[in-house]
Amino acid sequence: MNPKEIENKFPYSGIPTFYKLQHTTNLKNVDVALIGIPFDQGTTNRSGTRFGPRAVRIASQNYGIYMHSDEGAYDLEQKKHILHGVTLIDYGDVPILPTSTATNMKMIYDTFKKIIESNVFPVGFGGDHSITFPILEAFDVDFDIVHFDTHLDFTDNVANVKFSHASPIKRASGLKTVDNITQIGIRGFTDRKANYDEATKYNSKIITASDIFKNGIPWTLGEIPETKNIYVTLDIDALDISTVPGTGTPEPGGLNYIQMRQILQNLPKKGNIIGFDVVEVNPLYDAGNMTSQVASRLALDLLGSIYSK
Amino acid sequence: MNPKEIENKFPYSGIPTFYKLQHTTNLKNVDVALIGIPFDQGTTNRSGTRFGPRAVRIASQNYGIYMHSDEGAYDLEQKKHILHGVTLIDYGDVPILPTSTATNMKMIYDTFKKIIESNVFPVGFGGDHSITFPILEAFDVDFDIVHFDTHLDFTDNVANVKFSHASPIKRASGLKTVDNITQIGIRGFTDRKANYDEATKYNSKIITASDIFKNGIPWTLGEIPETKNIYVTLDIDALDISTVPGTGTPEPGGLNYIQMRQILQNLPKKGNIIGFDVVEVNPLYDAGNMTSQVASRLALDLLGSIYSK
Amino acid sequence: MNPKEIENKFPYSGIPTFYKLQHTTNLKNVDVALIGIPFDQGTTNRSGTRFGPRAVRIASQNYGIYMHSDEGAYDLEQKKHILHGVTLIDYGDVPILPTSTATNMKMIYDTFKKIIESNVFPVGFGGDHSITFPILEAFDVDFDIVHFDTHLDFTDNVANVKFSHASPIKRASGLKTVDNITQIGIRGFTDRKANYDEATKYNSKIITASDIFKNGIPWTLGEIPETKNIYVTLDIDALDISTVPGTGTPEPGGLNYIQMRQILQNLPKKGNIIGFDVVEVNPLYDAGNMTSQVASRLALDLLGSIYSK
Amino acid sequence: MNPKEIENKFPYSGIPTFYKLQHTTNLKNVDVALIGIPFDQGTTNRSGTRFGPRAVRIASQNYGIYMHSDEGAYDLEQKKHILHGVTLIDYGDVPILPTSTATNMKMIYDTFKKIIESNVFPVGFGGDHSITFPILEAFDVDFDIVHFDTHLDFTDNVANVKFSHASPIKRASGLKTVDNITQIGIRGFTDRKANYDEATKYNSKIITASDIFKNGIPWTLGEIPETKNIYVTLDIDALDISTVPGTGTPEPGGLNYIQMRQILQNLPKKGNIIGFDVVEVNPLYDAGNMTSQVASRLALDLLGSIYSK
Amino acid sequence: MNPKEIENKFPYSGIPTFYKLQHTTNLKNVDVALIGIPFDQGTTNRSGTRFGPRAVRIASQNYGIYMHSDEGAYDLEQKKHILHGVTLIDYGDVPILPTSTATNMKMIYDTFKKIIESNVFPVGFGGDHSITFPILEAFDVDFDIVHFDTHLDFTDNVANVKFSHASPIKRASGLKTVDNITQIGIRGFTDRKANYDEATKYNSKIITASDIFKNGIPWTLGEIPETKNIYVTLDIDALDISTVPGTGTPEPGGLNYIQMRQILQNLPKKGNIIGFDVVEVNPLYDAGNMTSQVASRLALDLLGSIYSK
Amino acid sequence: MNPKEIENKFPYSGIPTFYKLQHTTNLKNVDVALIGIPFDQGTTNRSGTRFGPRAVRIASQNYGIYMHSDEGAYDLEQKKHILHGVTLIDYGDVPILPTSTATNMKMIYDTFKKIIESNVFPVGFGGDHSITFPILEAFDVDFDIVHFDTHLDFTDNVANVKFSHASPIKRASGLKTVDNITQIGIRGFTDRKANYDEATKYNSKIITASDIFKNGIPWTLGEIPETKNIYVTLDIDALDISTVPGTGTPEPGGLNYIQMRQILQNLPKKGNIIGFDVVEVNPLYDAGNMTSQVASRLALDLLGSIYSK
C-alpha cells in the first residue's frame, strides 16, 4: 500500500476531513459538498456546538475508511452499495465570526448559494440550529421542509432576537420558496403553547414522538406529503437522550436510531431531496464521542438513500 | 423584558432552584414543595448521591423556563397544560449532617412532617434510597406504596445497619400506615433469595422488568391495585443503564423512559397520590448530566399527571 | 461478620477480581476459569482495550457480592438460582508483551490450552478481538462458532497483518475444528463487499441487526443451527452505541441488552457451550463504567444459562 | 444546630450561592455585592464561560462554611480575621440574553450602576472578559486599572466587533475616568505586535510573566503606581495552565497561585480598590472543578486584604 | 520470560495490588504491610475517597514493575537502591461497612493492631482522614505525630460527631501515647479560629504553607523536633491543587511535590518512623489518575528513605 | 475580511492543521515541515498516543491564529518576532499500519528521509517514543542528541522487542552518526540500575531533575556540550505531572514549563539544530487538552529560537 492508501485505511491517521474526503473548495465535477458551520451564538443554553463540525469529522473517520471514490460504501444490511460513482468533498467550514450574527448569517448564505449555484448537493453540519435559515434562503426553487427535532423552533423571537436556535422554522415559514413543513419527533414541555399555535396557524404538520411510538414508522411516513423538492433539517436532539447526550438540550422520549434511519431512508420516495443539515451536536457534553458518531452515521444513511436509487 | 423575566427565560442564568421556582420555606398558599435531600451515607457502593439534588436542579432549568406560575407548562404530546394554577416552590435542602444517620433520618422526618401538616404536596429528590423511610413515617394517613427500582430494598439490615439504601422498603413494611406495596422494574442477580422471600412474605407485589417487557404496560397498570392513597418512590436505576449511567448501581435490562412515563401518567387513576421521591441520581458517574435530566423530567411528568386532571 | 464476609459484601472493598472470585491458577476442582487478556495491539482505531479486563473486574463487583460459592446467585426475573454448586475462579491475566503479536498469540493459546486440558470451562475477557483465534486453536474438539459483532471480522489481512481485530473469524474459518459459523448483529457500512463475499463463500450464516429488528428473537434463534459443541465470541459492539459507548468502534442500530440476553440464554439449547469470550471493552471512552457493567452482566447471563440446567 | 446552621456548615447542602451568602437584591446596609455574569458571546474560541458563575458558586461553598456574618473568616497563614463585620451578599446573576451583545452590555452596566450608586462594593464573576467594560463605565470616579491576563486585550476590534473578550482594555482606555493601566502576567505568542503597540501608545505599563519570574514579586509591586482609586480585573488565564486548565485559552508560563495572591494582598496599599472582577472560568474544560476553586479563593484573598486593614 | 515475570513487567497486566506486591494476610517474615481503607463516611463534602485505595493500586503499577523482591528499586536521582532486601506485601483492604462508623473504627484498629503486634511496619491508604485515629490507637509505644495537611483537623466534633475527617488530630491529641504534634502545610480560610486555638492550646507546632514558602525546606526540617518514634499522616491536600485536583477539598497555595519529598526523605533523621498513612485521594474528581499517581509515589519516597539507611 | 482570513483568525474554525498551516506534501520552497506520527504500538502501559498528533493540532490553533506567513508571530515576552519569513507546512501524518512495527519504522524513516533530503527542517509529533529512532536514522550527518525525558529509554529490549518506547536512545546509541547524548529531566524509580549502567557505559550525560532543581538552568545549559549538529527529542513526561497529566507515564518531580522553555530557547547556541520531535502526548488521559497545549507551545518555542537568530 502506498501512503495515501494507508491513511485512508485507518481512522486514527490523517488530518480529519468529513469521511476522509478530499478537502477542497473546487466544485467542478463535484456531486455533494459537506460543509461545517461552527456557529453557536444562537444558543440559549449549553454552549459548545461550535466544536460540533470538528467532532463529527473525527467520528466520521470510522466510515471514511470504507468509502471509495469508485464503488462507494457497501451496506451490509441493505446488501447494496451506496454512493456508487458519486463525488463528495469536504468543503471546509463556513467562515464564522464571533458575536456578529448578521454577518455570519450572510456568510452561511453566501457559501451555500455558491454551492447550490454550482449544482452541487449541500450538506451542512452545525453548529446550532440558527444555521438552517440562511441555508434555506440560498435555494431558488420551491420546496417542502422535513424537520426533525424535539422543539418546534417556531418562536418568532427571543427577546427581539430573530436569529437564535429557537426560531429557524418560524423564519423559514416566512420564505416564499417554502411550502409544506412537517415536524417530526416534537415532544415535551419544552415549548410554549403560543409557539404551537404559531406552527398550527402556518399549517405545519406536527408529528410528535408519542405519535410515532403509538402509530409506527409506516404511519409516520404516510403523514409526510409527497412533493417536488424537500429540504431536510435534522436537529440531533430529535433522538433520545440515551443516544445523544452530547447536545444542547437532550431530552428523553425521543426516537431511537433505527426509527430515525427508517424515516430517512424512505424520504427520497417523497420528493427530490435538495439538501440537508445535521445540527446541535455538542461534544463538550458527550461521552466517547457517541453523539458525533450517530450524527455522522445518519448523514451517511440519508446520503446513501438519495444516491443509490 | 425585566431582569427577572430574563433570568426565568434562560437555563444558564440565575442561582439554580428546582425548575426555576421560588426558593422559600414559607408554605402558605403553596400546593407543592420540592425538597433536596443530599444524603448518601446509606450508600453501599458508589458515593456521590449527595450531589444529586444540585445536579437535578441544574438539569431542571431546561423545563423551568417553560413553566409559568399562571398557566403551567404546555405538554405538546398530550396537547394540554399541566400544573395550571398550581403553586410550586423549592423548599431547599433538608439539613444533613455527615455520618449521623439517626439525626439525619430525624431531620428528613421533621422537614416532611412540617410540609405534610401544612397540606402541601411533598416531592423529595435524593440522595440515596435511605431517605424514603423517614418521609413515609411523616404521613398520618394509610397508603399504598408504588416502588420503582432494580432492587427490592427489602433487606432487613446490612451488618446490623437498618437505615441503608438496601432497606427502605423493608422498613416501610413495618409501618402501620403502609398497606399494599407494588414493586416495579425489579431485576437481575442483585439481591438474595432471602430478601425475595421477605418481600413475598409481606405479600408485596413484584413486577419484574422481564414481566413488563413480556406483558406490556397496560398489563403492568392492571397489576397495580386501586386504593385510596398512594406514595410513589422512584429509584432512578429502575430505568435502563443506557438512560441512567449516573446512578449508584446502574443495570441493563431496565425500563426505558417511555415505559416509565406511561406508568407514571396513569398512576393517579389508581388512587390519590400523596407525595413522591426520586432517588439515587449520582452526577459523579454521569455523562452530559443525562441522568439528572431524566430524573427532573420524570418528576415533572408525574406532577403533571397529578395536577392536570 | 468476619472480615472476609464484609469484603465480599461491599463492591468498593477488596482487590477487585472478577465477581469477587478467588484469584488462583490452581485448576483442581474448578469448573469455570475467568481470564483477562489485556491485549490491544490488534486494534485499528481507538486504543485502550488493554484496560478492559481491569474495568470489567471493577464493574463485576456489583454481582460478586451476590454470588455465593454454595448456592450461586438468585435471578429474580427467572426465579431460580444460577451457578448453584459451581466453582468459578479468577485465573488472572494472560501474560501479554507489548508489540509482540506472535508471542502474545502463543501465550493466549498456552493459557487456554492448559485450562481446557484441565477440563475447566474457559471465559476470556479482552482485549481486542484478535484474542479469539488463539483461544479457538486451543480446543481439540470440533465446534460451531456463534459470533456477535457489528463487523464480520472476515478480513484476510490488514496490510499483510493476519492477526488484527479485523480478522479473527477469517482465521477461525481456516481451522479444521471449526464447522458452522453464525454471525449475529452484523450491520452498517463498516466493512467491504469483499469481506462479505469471503464470509458468504465460507457459508457463514449472517444475521444482520436489521434482520433481528424485523423478524424478532425467536426467528433469530431458529436460524442458529443445532450442533454438538459451540464456542461463543461476543464483541461488545454488537450492542447499540447507547448501551456501549466504551468500545473501539461503537455503532448505532445494534441490539439492546434484552435482545442479546434472550439469545444468550437460549444458546445452551443449541449445543454444548465449550467456552466463550467477551471482547472490545474500552474504558477510556466509557461513561460511568457502563460498558464494563453490561459486559460483566452478559457474561454472567451466559454462564447462568449454561450452569443452571 | 438548627437547619440553617447545618446548611451553612456543609458544602454539599443548600442551593449554592457565592460563599453561602444570602441571595438578595436588597442593597441596604450591604458592604459587598457579588454578581454572576453568565455571558460568553464575546468568546473567540472555547465557549462555556456562561457556566462560570454557577461553577464558582459551587466551589465557593468550601469557603462559605467558614465565613460568619459576625467575625468573618480566619486566615491561618496571616493569623488574622478577614471580612470581620463586613456584610456580603450574592446579588444573583446579571440578566443575560443570548446573542444580544448590546443589550447585555447595557444590563451589566445597569446592574453595576445600581450597586455602585448604593455605595456597595461590586465583585463580578464572568463570563468572558467582555463583561469588564460595562462595569468600568458604571463608575463615576477616576481610577487606575490593574489588569491580570495572558493577553493585552487591547485589540480595537475583531472583525468590526468592538465588544468581544479581545477588546475590554482597549475599550477601557477610551474612558475619561480611566487613568493608568497596569497589565500583569502578559505573555506568549498570543497577540499581535499591533496590539502591543496600541497598548504602548496608551502608555499602559506591561509587566510580562517573564519579567515577574526574573525580578520577583516585590519588584512587580514596585512597578504598580500608587494612586487614588483602583479597579482590578483578573482574567483567570493569567495563572499557569497547570492551575487553571478550565479557561478559554489556558497558557503555560503563567503565575502560580502564591505569586498571584502576594500581588493581590498588597494591592490595597497602592490605592483604594473600588471593585473587581474575575473572568474566563470555563467549567466545561476543567478537572475536579479546580479552576473554579482557585477563582473563588483569589476573590476571597483580594476581598480579605481590602476588608481587614 | 515466564508468565509471572511478564505480569510483573507491564503495568496494564495483572490484578492490581499495591506496587504489584503479593496479596496476602500472612505476616510471617514480612517487613512492611500496605493496607487499603476504603472508608469515606467521615467526609463532610465530596464523597468518593472509598475508591482511593483502588485508584492508588492502579497508579502504583508504574512503580511496581521496577521493584524487585531482592534488590528493591533504583532511585536514579539519589543514585542508590531503596527497599533492598525488604519484604513488602499488599495486605488487602480493611473490611469496611457502610454507615457504621464505630464498627469501622474498630475494624481499622483491629487490622493495624494485628500488623503492629507482628512487628510489621504498617502503611495505610485511605479513605478519608478519619481513618488515622484508630491506626494511632493501635500503637503501644509513645510517639510524635508529623501531620501534613491543609487543615488542622483539630475540630472537637462536627455536630457531635467525633469521628469525621475534621477531627483525627484532635482525637489523637487525647491519646496518652501521643507526644509532640507537628502540622505542616496548614493554610487558608478553611478552618475556624477556635480550632486553631485548640491546636495551640495543645502546643501543636503549626508550620503553614506560607511559612514554608518564605523560609524554605531546611528551616522547615529544623522546626520538626527530634524524638524517639514518629507516626506520619499525610493528607494529600497538603499539596497544591495543581498537583492533586482529585481530593475532597483541593486548595491552592500548597506544597509542590519536590518540597514534600524533600521533607519526607529527611524525616527518618528525626526519629524512628513507626508507620504512616496517605489519605483523601478521591479518584472521582481526578484527571488522568494524577492524584493517585502522586500519592503512590510519595508513599514510595517515604518508604525508600526509611528502608535505605 | 475574506473567508480564508476569518478561518485563520478563529481557533474553532477550519479543519485543524498544525498551527493552521497549509497542509501539503509539496516541499518546494518550504523551510519547516511538521509531521504527525500516530504510532502507539511501542507503548508498554497506557495506550492512546496515536491520537496525540490530532490533539496537538487542535491545541495549536490557539497559536496558529497569530502566525502570519510574512511576519511570523510576535513574542511579547522576548519583544521580538519569531519565524519571520519562514515557510512552515503541515506535512500530514506518516502512514502507520496497526501492529506492523517494522513496516511502520520503515515508513517513518522514508517520510523523514524525503523531507531531510529536500533540505527541509523536520518536526515530528508522536505517538510514543519509539518513533524517534527511525527519524534519527534518516539523517546522514553526524549529530549530538539532546534528550528530555523522565526515563533513560536505554533499555536494550523489552522481551526481545527492540523497538518499543523504552529503547529509542539505546537504539540511537548504536548509530554511527550519533555522538554525544545528553539526557535531561531523568528521575525517579522508573528504571532499572542496569539501564543506568548501560547509559553510563555509553558515556551519556545524565542530568536528573533533582540536579536541575538544585543547580539551576544556567548550570544545566553549561552541562550540554557545544557541537556541530543537534537533534532534540522531547518526551513530554520530562515535565511535571501537574502540567502534563495526559501522557503515558506522568511523574511528579519534573521540570516546569518555564525551566523547559529556558533550556529550549538556549539550545541553538550549542549547535545547529537539525530537527526535533515531541512525543508521548496522550489525549485520552488529559484534562481540558492541557498537555496538548503545552506540547504545541514548546514546539513553537523551540522553532522560534531556531528561526529568529
pLDDT, tens digit, 9 for 90 and up, residues A81-96: 999 999 999 999 999 9
Asked whether the beta carbons of residue A12 and residue F97 sit closer than 8 angstroms, the reply is no
The H or E element that residue C184 is part of is strand C178-186
Q: How many domains does chain C have?
A: 1
Q: What residues of chain F have any CB closer than 8 angstroms to a CB in chain C?
A: 40-44, 46-48, 50-51, 97-101, 103, 158-161, 163-164, 284-285
Q: Which amino acid is at E189?
A: F
- What is the C-alpha separation between F42 and F130, in angstroms, rounded? 6
Using alpha carbons, select from A56, A63, A82, A69 the residue that is nearest to residue A22: A69
Asked whether the beta carbons of residue E41 and residue B98 sit closer than 8 angstroms, the reply is yes
pLDDT, tens digit, 9 for 90 and up, residues E114-156: 999 999 999 999 999 999 999 999 999 999 999 999 999 999 9
Does residue D68 register a pLDDT over 90? no
Cβ-Cβ pairs closer than 8 A, A with D, add up to 62
- What is the C-alpha separation between B79 and B68, in angstroms, rounded? 17
Asked whether the beta carbons of residue B261 and residue A253 sit closer than 8 angstroms, the reply is yes
Alpha carbon of B77: minimum distance to chain A alpha carbons (Å)? 6
Closest by Cβ to C98, choosing from E10, E93, E94 = E10
pLDDT confidence tier of residue E161, bands split at 50, 70 and 90: confident
Q: What is the pLDDT of residue F99?
A: 77
Asked whether the beta carbons of residue C90 and residue E15 sit closer than 8 angstroms, the reply is yes
Q: What is the pLDDT of residue C9?
A: 87
End-to-end C-alpha distance for chain F, whole angstroms: 33
- What is the C-alpha separation between C173 and C158, in angstroms, rounded? 17
pLDDT confidence tier of residue B14, bands split at 50, 70 and 90: very high
Position with higher pLDDT, C18 vs D158: C18
| F183: β partners | F147, F206
User: Least CA distance to A6: which residue of chain C?
Assistant: C159
Range of the domain at F136: 3-306
- What is the C-alpha separation between D250 and D187, in angstroms, rounded? 12
User: What does the DSSP 8-state code read for residue F14?
Assistant: S
Task: Provide the 3-class DSSP secondary structure of residue D65.
Answer: coil
End-to-end C-alpha distance for chain D, whole angstroms: 33
Whether C contacts D, i.e. 3 or more CB pairs less than 8 A apart, is no
Q: Which subunits have 3 or more CB–CB pairs within 8 Å of chain F? A: A, C, D, E
Q: Which three cell numbers stand for residue E130?
A: 478519619
Q: What residues of chain A have any CB closer than 8 angstroms to a CB in chain B?
A: 44-46, 152, 158-159, 186-193, 196, 206, 208-211, 213, 240-242, 245-246, 249-253, 285-287
Q: What residues of chain B have any CB closer than 8 angstroms to a CB in chain C?
A: 44-46, 152, 158-159, 186-193, 196, 206, 208-211, 213, 240-242, 245-246, 249-253, 285-287
| B186: β partners | B208
Asked whether the beta carbons of residue F95 and residue A50 sit closer than 8 angstroms, the reply is no
Concatenated DSSP letters of chain B: --HHHHHHH-TTSSS--GGG--B----TT-SEEEEEE---TT-SS---GGGHHHHHHHHHHHHHTT-BTTTBEEETTTTEEESTT--EEEEEEPP--SS-HHHHHHHHHHHHHHHHHTT-EEEEEESSGGGHHHHHHT--S-EEEEEE-SS----S-BTTBSSSTT-HHHHHHT-TTEEEEEEEEE-TT-S-HHHHHHHHHHTPEEEEHHHHHHHHHHHHHHHSPP-SEEEEEEEGGGB-TTT--SBSS--SS-B-HHHHHHHHHHGGGTSEEEEEEEE-B-GGG-STTHHHHHHHHHHHHHHHHHTT-
- What is the C-alpha separation between A255 and A252, in angstroms, rounded? 9
Whether D contacts E, i.e. 3 or more CB pairs less than 8 A apart, is yes
Mean pLDDT of F222-232: 98
Asked whether the beta carbons of residue E189 and residue D1 sit closer than 8 angstroms, the reply is no
Mean pLDDT of F132-140: 98
Does residue E1 register a pLDDT over 90? no
Cβ-Cβ pairs closer than 8 A, B with C, add up to 95
Task: Provide the 3-class DSSP secondary structure of residue C239.
Answer: strand
Does residue D69 register a pLDDT over 80? no
> Could you list the mean pLDDT of each consecutive 10-residue stretch along chain C, which spans 309 residues?
83 94 96 97 91 96 88 91 95 90 94 98 97 98 98 90 92 97 93 90 96 97 98 98 97 98 97 98 96 98 90
Chain A residues closer than 8 Å to B242 by CB: 242
- What is the C-alpha separation between C78 and C301, in angstroms, rounded? 11
Q: What is the pLDDT of residue D218?
A: 97
Percent of chain C with pLDDT over 90: 85
Alpha carbon of A286: minimum distance to chain C alpha carbons (Å)? 9
- What is the C-alpha separation between A150 and A134, in angstroms, rounded? 21
Alpha carbon of E113: minimum distance to chain F alpha carbons (Å)? 31
Q: Regarding beta strands D73-75 and B272-279, do their DSSP bridges make them parallel or antiparallel, or are they unpaired?
A: unpaired
Give the dihedral of Cα atoms A190, A194, A196, A202; nearest 10 deg.
Answer: -150
Of C13, C90, C91, C125, which to mutate for an interface test with E (greatest number of E Cβ within 10 Å)?
Answer: C13
Percent of chain D with pLDDT over 70: 100
Burial class (CB in 10 A: 0-12, 13-18, 19+), E220: buried
Mean pLDDT of A181-185: 98
Q: What is the pLDDT of residue B309?
A: 52
For the CA atoms of chain B, what is the radius of gyration?
18
Annotated ligand binding at A237? The verdict is yes
Alpha carbon of D165: minimum distance to chain F alpha carbons (Å)? 13
Does residue A309 register a pLDDT over 60? no
How many distinct helices (H) and strands (E) make up chain C?
10, 10
Mean pLDDT of F118-144: 98
Chain E residues closer than 8 Å to C289 by CB: none
Mean of the per-residue pLDDT values of chain D? 95
Are A126 and A234 in contact by the 8 Å Cβ rule? The answer is no
The H or E element that residue F36 is part of is strand F32-37
Position with higher pLDDT, B163 vs C88: C88
Does residue D141 register a pLDDT over 80? yes
- What is the C-alpha separation between F175 and F197, in angstroms, rounded? 19
Chain position carrying cell 444573583: D92
CATH label of the domain that carries residue C286? 3.40.800.10
Mean pLDDT of B278-289: 96
Asked whether the beta carbons of residue C99 and residue F41 sit closer than 8 angstroms, the reply is yes
User: Least CA distance to C256: which residue of chain B?
Assistant: B253
Annotated ligand binding at E151? The verdict is yes
Does residue F179 register a pLDDT over 70? yes
Q: What is the pLDDT of residue D309?
A: 52
- What sign results for the dihedral spanned by CA atoms F145, F149, F152, F158? negative
Mean pLDDT of B79-94: 95
Q: What is the pLDDT of residue D38?
A: 96
Percent of chain F with pLDDT over 90: 85
Q: What is the pLDDT of residue C309?
A: 53
Q: Which amino acid is at B95?
A: P
How many distinct helices (H) and strands (E) make up chain D?
9, 10
Q: What is the pLDDT of residue B189?
A: 85
pLDDT confidence tier of residue B106, bands split at 50, 70 and 90: very high
Are F83 and F129 in contact by the 8 Å Cβ rule? The answer is no
Of C50, C99, C280, C281, which to mutate for an interface test with F (greatest number of F Cβ within 10 Å)?
Answer: C99
Chain E residues closer than 8 Å to B99 by CB: 41-42, 101, 158, 161, 163-164
Alpha carbon of C139: minimum distance to chain A alpha carbons (Å)? 31
Q: Which three cell numbers stand for residue A142?
A: 420551491
Q: Which three cell numbers stand for residue A69?
A: 471514490
Does residue D280 register a pLDDT over 80? yes
Q: How many CB atoms lie within 10 A of CB C194?
A: 12
Alpha carbon of B128: minimum distance to chain A alpha carbons (Å)? 23
Burial per residue of B75-95, b for 16 or more beta-carbon CB atoms within 10 angstroms, e otherwise: bbbbeebbbeebebbbbbbbb
Whether D contacts A, i.e. 3 or more CB pairs less than 8 A apart, is yes
Q: Which three cell numbers stand for residue B178?
A: 403502609
Alpha carbon of A227: minimum distance to chain D alpha carbons (Å)? 36
Q: How many CB atoms lie within 10 A of CB A36?
A: 27
Asked whether the beta carbons of residue C6 and residue E107 sit closer than 8 angstroms, the reply is yes
Annotated ligand binding at C235? The verdict is yes
Does residue B69 register a pLDDT over 80? no
pLDDT confidence tier of residue F174, bands split at 50, 70 and 90: very high
pLDDT, tens digit, 9 for 90 and up, residues E257-270: 999 999 999 999 99
| D278: β partners | D125, D234
Annotated ligand binding at E153? The verdict is yes
Burial class (CB in 10 A: 0-12, 13-18, 19+), E85: exposed
